[in-house]
Structure 1
Amino acid sequence: MRDVSSLEELVGALEALYERALAKGRERFVGENGRVDGKKLNQEQLAAHGLAYLATETHAARQLAEWAGACGPTERAIAGAYVGELARSLRGGIDLGACETVSLQALGLSEGDLRETILKDELQSWAEEHSSPEAYVGIAKTARDGDPGSLGLERDADGELLMEIRAQFRRFVDSQVIPKAQEIHQQDVLIPMAIVDQMSELGVFGLTIPEEYDGLGMSKVAMCVATEELSRGYIGVGSLGTRAEIAAELILGGGTDEQKKHWLPKIAAGEVLPTAVFTEPNTGSDLAHLGTRATRQDDGSYRVHGQKTWITHAVRADLMTLLARTDADEPGYKGLSMFLAPKTRLDPAPGEPEFVDQGLEGTEIEVLGYRGMKEYELSFDDFAVPADALLGGEEGAGFKQLMRTFESARIQTAARGVGVAQAALDDALLYAMERVQFGRPIFEFPRVARKIGRMVARIQAARQLTFFSARQKDMEKRCDLEAGMAKLLATRAAWESADANVQIHGGNGFAIEYLASRLLVDARVLSIFEGANEIQAHVVARRLLEG
C-alpha cells in the first residue's frame, strides 16, 4: 500500500504549498479591514488567477486521491499520474491557459517553500515514477482494454440508481444522438424535435425539479451523469437541458407560488422550452451595466426596449428568462429585474419567419461549433411583458435571483466539458487502434499512447471535481467556489482532449468529415460561456481570499 500512502503524502505536500500561497495572497490582497482590495486584485490578475488555478489543481488532486483510495489499481495509477505530473510541473509555473503561465514566485512563493513541500527528494522520485511516459502508456493500454477507471459513483448512497441512469442515457445517445450529430453540425440545422421529444420522455428537462412540480426530484449528481452522457453524444444535445436547469432554479429560488405552479410542471414535461436572455452586445459578463429597459405601464405590465446577444435556442423557446433594468436611476445591480417573458415557439423551414411576436426581432449569429440550437441577437422594441411575469413580483431583485443559479449552471457546464472530453478520448482510442502506419497501429507509438493516457487522467480529475461540487450542492452547502473550480478544470480538459484527438488523427483531424474537427470547435466554446474562464478565475480567487 506504499503507493496509496505516498499519493496521500504528495497531495498533502501540494496542499501545504497551496496554503502558503494563500497566506501570501491574503497578505497581498486583503486589507486591515479584512476585505479584499478589488482594485489591487484587478491590477495583479496574473498572481490572483494563478492562486485560483493552483487551488483548482490541488483540490482536484485531493478528489482523485479519495477516489483512488476507494477503488483499485487502475484508479491509483490514474491518480498517481495526475498528482505526480502536477507536482513535477509546478516548479516551472502554473498554466493559466493558451499562451499564459505564471511563476510560483509571482504568488510570493520561494524556492524554500518548494523544497519544504513538493520538492522533497522522496516525493519527487515518486512523482517522476508515477507520471513517467511509461506510466501514462500503461494507463492508455488499460483504457484500450476497457478499463479507463471507475466513475466513483459507488460512494453515493444512490450509486446503483446513478449507474442505471447512466446506462439509460448511454443507450439513448448511442442509438439516437451520435448517428445524427455530424449531420446536425455539418448542415448547421436545429436538433430534430424527435430527439427533443425523446429527451422529454427521459425526463431531462425535469431531472432536478421537485416531484411536487411533476419533476423527477433527482440530485445534481444525477444531472451531471445525464449531462455528461448527452454531451458525449453531442454538446448541443447536452446543452438543451441547461436553459431548463437555469429557468427552474430561478423559479424555485425566487418565484411566487403561482409562478412555480404554472411554469415548473410545463418545463419538467418539455412542454415549455426556456431560453436565458441575459447578455448584451456591449456588456458581456459585466451584468451590472445592462442597458435593456423594462418600463412599467399603468396596468402593471412592462414594455421592453434594448438589445440582447448570444441567446441560445431562441426560435424554439416559449419562455425567456429576461434580465432588464426597471430602475433607470439605479445604474448598478440593484436596478435589475428578472422576468418570465412568454414568446411564440416556432420551428420554421428555411426562409420562413423565425420571430413573430410584436416588438421582437432576431438575427442569427453564425458560429464555428456548438450548433444545433443556434445563437441569436435579439432586438426588443416595445415588447410587451405581462405584469405577472416579474419573477417573485419583486423589482430590483433580478441579479440576486440570477446569482442563485450560478452554482448549478457552472456544475452543469463542467459536466458538459467532461462529456466532450470523453467523446474526444473515445474517438482518439478508436482511431489510434485502427490507423496503421509503418506496419502497426499508431497506438503502439509511445507519444500517441502517452497523449491518450494523459487524456484519461485529466478527464477523471475533472469528473471527480465535478461530482464533488454536485455533492456539495445536493447537501445544500454553498459551493460557488467548488463549482467554479470544476468549470475551470473540465473546460480545460475538454479543450486539451479535443486538441490531442486532432493531433492523433493527423491531417484527417483537420477534415470536416471527421468527428475530431467537430469536437475541437465544440470544446472551444466551453471556456467562454457561463462566465469566461478569466472571469471565473477572478471569482474563485476572490472567494479563496475572502475565506
Structure 2
Amino acid sequence: MTDQTPSSNPGYLTDERVMMRDLARTFTREEVLPVANRLDPEKGDIPRELVERMGDLGFFGILIPEELGGLGLGAFEYCLVAEELARGWMSVASIIARGNSFYHAVGGPPEERRAKIAAMAKGRYLGAAALSEPQTGSDLSSVACRARRDGDEWVITGNKYWCTFADGADFIRVLCRIDEPLPASGRARTVSVVVEKPRGELPEGVTGSPIPKIGYFGWKTWELHFDGVRAAVDPRESDGRAFQATAAGLEVARAHTAARSIGLAQAALDHAIGYAQERVQFGEPIANFQAIRFKIATMATEIEAARQLMYHTCHEIDAGRPATVQTSMVKYFASEMAERVTSEALQILGGAGYTTLHPVERFWRDARLTKIFEGTSEIQQRIISDRLLGKPVRPARS
C-alpha cells in the first residue's frame, strides 16, 4: 500500500487532520490490509481484536460528543478515517458507523445511556440497522414490519432484509410502522425500535439466515423474521416520524459512502501503478506504454476530483449548512467513479486482476456496492434533479 495521493488543499487539511489521516493510513497498511488479504477470500469476519484496536484509536467515537466519551469531531475527520480504512477493507471502513452513526439510537435511563454511549465510542457496544424489507428498498416510508404497543413495550412482527452485522451487534435498530396515521398526510406512522441482544446471536424471537453476497465480506448480511419480539418503548420516540428522521440522517451517511468509494479507488490505483511498474512485456515495463499511462492519469484525476468534492461537502456539513444536494452529488459521483477506476485497475493487471491473488478484484467487487447502498445512484440523481428542476408535475388525466 503505497501513497500516490496528491497534495491536497491545506485550507482543509489542518495539521491535526493530517495526523489523524496518517494514523488511519498506517493502521490500515500494517493491520487492516493483511487481515483483509487473508480473510476476504474465505469470506471471514472482521476479527474482534481488530475492532478493539480500532476502538482504542477512537475510530468509533469520532462523531460522538466529548461529554459522552467520544472525540467530538466532525464529518470531515470521520470521512478522512473512512477513506483510509477502505483502502484496506471496505467492511472495516463501514463498521465504524456502528458507533458514530448509532449513538443517537441508544436509549434507557440517562446514566445507563451515557455508559452505553461511552462503550460505543470504544467499539464495545455497537448497533445494526434493520431498515429494508424483501419488498421495500428505496421507499422506506412503505415498510410493512409492524410494531404494536403493549404497555411499556413494542411487539414487533414482520420481515427485514439487508441487515448487516445482525449477529455481531449488541442491538438492532428496527424501522417499523404503527397503525395510527400521521395527521394531514394520512401516511402510516413509523417508529425506530431498539432491540437489545447478546453479541454473537440473534435476538430472542428472531430467526434468519445470511444473504449470499458477491462481496462486502468481513461481516454477514441477514434476512430476518421478527415473531412477536418485545422491546422497551423509548419515550424519546413519540411523534411516529422515524422514517423522516432516518432520511434526515443520510447526509453524513452518504458522505461516508463517498469516502469509502474514494478509498477503494485509491487502493486500486496504487496497486495498478505498482503492478505496471513491475510487469514487463515486449521488453519493458507496461508503465512505459501510453495506453497504460493515460489510464492511470485519468484514474488519478477522477479520484482527486471526488476527494475535493467530498472535502467541500464535509466542510458544509460541519458548518451546519444544508447539504442534501451536495451529499447526493458526492455519493453519486464518487461511487460511479469507484466502479470505473477499480475496473480500469483490474484491466491494467489483465488476467492477474481476475484472480484472487491480487486485492484489486476485492476493491472492484466492493466498489460496485457503493452505487446501491445508502440510496442508489438513481435515487441520488432524482434528489439532484428535483432540486434543480422542481419535482415532476404530472398532467391531469382527462
TM-score, structure 1 normalization: 0.68
The 1-side partners of 2:189 and 2:267 are apart by: 43
Q: For 1:138-179, what per-residue CA distance to the aligned partner results, in whole angstroms no more than 9, with x for missing partners? A: xxxxxx9x7642132x203x7100000011111111110111
2:121 maps to 1:268: yes
Structure 2 counterpart SS, 1:303: strand
Aligned amino acid, residue 199 of structure 2: R
Larger strand proportion of the pair: 2
> Secondary structure at the residue paired with 1:233?
coil
User: Distance in 1 between the 2:80 and 2:186 partners?
Assistant: 37
What is the distance in 2 between the residues matched to 1:426 and 1:150? 15
What is the rounded CA distance, in whole Å, between the counterparts of 1:397 and 1:378 in structure 2? 23
Q: Which segment drifts farther, 466-475 or 335-344?
A: 335-344
Residue equivalent to 1:61: none
Select 1:518's aligned residue among 362, 386, 390. 362
CA distance 1:342–1:447, change in 2 (3 Å) = same
* 1:338 matched to 2:216: no
1:151 counterpart residue number: 8
Secondary structure of 2:227's partner?
Answer: strand
- The AA in structure 2 aligned to 1:261 is R
- Aligned equivalent of 1:301, options 144, 148, 153: 153
Q: What is the match of residue 230 of structure 2?
A: 384
> Does the 8 A contact of 1:205 with 1:268 survive in 2?
yes
Aligned to 2:70: 215
| Residue of structure 2 equivalent to 1:115 | none
1:319 equivalent in alignment to 2:171: yes
1: distance between equivalents of 2:8 and 2:87?
15
Q: Which has the higher helix share?
A: 1
CA distance in 2, matches of 1:414, 1:249: 22
Question: In the TM superposition, what are the counterparts of 1:138-537 in structure 2 within 5 Å?
Answer: 148-152=5-9, 154-156=10-12, 159-249=14-104, 261=114, 263-297=116-150, 299-327=151-179, 329=181, 334-346=188-200, 354-355=201-202, 357-388=203-234, 392-537=236-381
In 2, distance between residues paired with 1:183 and 1:304?
39
Query: Aligned-pair distance for 1:217?
Result: 0.5
- Please state how far the C-alpha of 1:258 moved relative to its aligned partner: 6.7
> 1:422-442 CA distances to partner (integer Å, 9 max, x unpaired)?
001101101000101011110
For the structure 1 residues 473 and 249, does the alpha-carbon distance in structure 2 shift closer, same or farther, using more than 3 Å as the test? farther
Cα distance in 1 between the residues matched to 2:307 and 2:8: 8
Give the Cα–Cα distance (whole angstroms) in 2 for the partners of residues 250 and 449 of structure 1.
48
Q: Which amino acid aligns with 2:311?
A: F
Deviation (angstroms), 1:326: 1.8
Q: Distance in 1 between matches of 2:4 and 2:257?
A: 25
1:13 is aligned to none
State the AA in 2 paired with 1:149.
Answer: P
Q: In the alignment, is the contact (CA less than 8 A) between 1:278 and 1:308 conserved in 2?
A: yes
In structure 2, how many angstroms separate the alpha carbons of the residues matched to 1:328 and 1:291? 14
Instruction: From the CA coordinates, give the structure whose radius of gyration is larger.
Output: 1
Task: Kindly provide the amino acid, as one letter, of the partner of residue 416 in structure 1.
Answer: R
C-alpha root-mean-square deviation of aligned residues, in Å? 2.1
Which residue in 1 is equivalent to 2:394?
A: none
Output the CA distance in 2 between the equivalents of 1:409 and 1:245.
Answer: 10
CA distance in 2, matches of 1:147, 1:416: 17
Write the letter of the residue equivalent to 2:332.
L
TM-score of the superposed pair, with normalisation by structure 2: 0.92
Q: Indicate how the Cα distance of structure 1 residues 148 and 301 shifts in structure 2: closer, same or farther if over 3 A, else same.
A: closer
Q: Could you tell me whether the CA contact under 8 Å between 1:341 and 1:385 is conserved in 2?
A: yes
Q: Aligned partners of 1:263, 1:476: CA distance in 2, in Å?
A: 27
Residues 148 and 318 of structure 1: CA distance in aligned 2, closer, same or farther (over 3 Å): closer
Which residue of structure 2 lines up, in the alignment, with residue 49 of structure 1? Answer: none
Q: Are the counterparts in 2 of residues 427 and 516 from structure 1 also a CA contact under 8 Å? A: yes
Verify the 8 A CA contact 1:205 1:245 in the aligned structure 2.
yes
The residue identity in structure 2 corresponding to 1:410 is R
| Whole-angstrom CA distance in 2 between matches of 1:332 and 1:490 | 37
Q: Note if contact 1:304-1:382 (Cα within 8 Å) is conserved in structure 2.
A: yes
SS in 1 for 2:210: strand
Structure 2: stretches of 5+ with no match in the other structure? 392-398
Q: Kindly provide the amino acid, as one letter, of the partner of residue 230 in structure 1.
A: L
SS in 2 for 1:411: helix
Cα 1:287–1:423 change in 2 (3 A) is: same
SS at match of 1:367: coil
- Over 3 Å counting, the alpha-carbon distance change for 1:181 and 1:322 in structure 2 is same
Instruction: State the distance in 2 between where 1:377 and 1:214 align.
Output: 33
Between the aligned partners of 2:327 and 2:345, the Cα distance in structure 1 is 27
Q: State the shift of 1:314 in Å.
A: 1.1
Q: Is the partner of 2:162 in helix, strand or coil? A: strand
Q: Secondary structure at 2:87's aligned position in 1?
A: helix
The aligned counterpart of 1:106 is none
Q: How far off its partner does 1:395 sit?
A: 4.2
Task: Please say if residues 289 and 332 of structure 1, whose CA atoms lie closer than 8 Å, have aligned partners that are also in contact.
Answer: no
**Deviation of 1:320 (Å):** 1.4
Note the C-alpha offset of 1:544. 2.5
- Give the match's secondary structure for 1:283: coil
